Amino acid sequence: MIRFLIFVILAYVAYRVVKAVFWPKEKTIRGPEGGVIDEMVQDPYCKTYVPKREAVKKTIGGETFSFCSEACAAKFESEKGA
Ligand SMILES: [Zn+2]
C-alpha cells in the first residue's frame, strides 16, 4: 500500500514537471492564485503585447491581426496596402 502511494506521488510530481516544461509561460499572465488571467497577443505594427480580449482585430489580406488600438490597425493596413 505504501509503495502504491509513493508511486502516485511520483506520478503527480512528474505530471507537474512535464506540465511546467511544456506550458509556454511567455504568452500567459498568471494571477496570485495561479489562474490564467489572459493570453497576450503582439501588435504587428508597434510590437506591443496586448491582452487578447482587449486587442483590436482586423483581417488584412485573409490574415487576422491583433492590434493595441484602431490607430495601429489603420496605419498597419495602409502600409500593407501601399
Ligand atoms: Zn499598437
4 domain-assigned: no
What's the pLDDT score for residue 44? 95
Q: How many domains does the chain have?
A: 1
For residue 7, CA distances in Å to 2, 10, 32, 78 come to 9, 5, 30, 60
Residue 75 lies in a domain: yes
Residues paired with 39 in a beta bridge: 28
7 found inside a domain:
no
pLDDT by 10s per residue, the chain, length 82? 789 999 999 999 988 888 888 765 556 666 666 666 678 999 999 999 999 989 999 998 899 999 999 999 999 999 986 5
Residue 46 Cα to ligand 1 midpoint, Å, equals: 4
Phi and psi angles of residue 17, each rounded to the nearest 5 degrees, phi first: -65, -45
Residue 26 confidence (pLDDT): 56
Report field, pTM of the whole predicted structure over 0.95: no
Residue reference for cell 509556454: 24
Residue 40 CA to ligand 1 center (angstroms) comes to: 13
User: What domain range is 44 assigned to?
Assistant: 25-81
How many A from CA of 21 to the centre of ligand 1? Answer: 31
Query: CB of 56 within 8 A of CB of 68?
Result: yes
Expressed in angstroms and rounded, the spacing between residue 68 Cα and the centre of ligand 1 is 4
pLDDT at 18: 85
* Inside any domain, residue 50: yes
| 48 in a structural domain | yes
Residue list, CB under 5 A from ion ligand 1: 43, 46, 48, 68, 72
| Residue 16 placed within a domain | no
Closest to 55 in 3D by CA, of 40, 36, 45: 40
